[in-house]
Amino acid sequence: SATDGNHGKALAAAARDIGCQCVIVLHANVSREREDAIAHYGARIVRIEGDYDASVEHAATLAADNQWHVVSDTSYEGYET
Domain range summary for the chain, segments of one domain joined by +: 2-66
Instruction: Assess contact for 54 and 27: CB atoms under 8 A.
Output: yes
The stretch 15-31 carries a mean pLDDT of 96
pTM across the whole model: 0.88
Query: Which CATH architecture does the domain made up of 2-66 adopt?
Result: 3-Layer(aba) Sandwich (3.40)
Rounded Cα gap, residues 62 and 81, in angstroms: 15
Rounded Cα gap, residues 66 and 34, in angstroms: 25
Is the pLDDT confidence value at 76 over 70? no
Is the pLDDT confidence value at 62 over 80? yes
pLDDT, residue 75, reads: 65
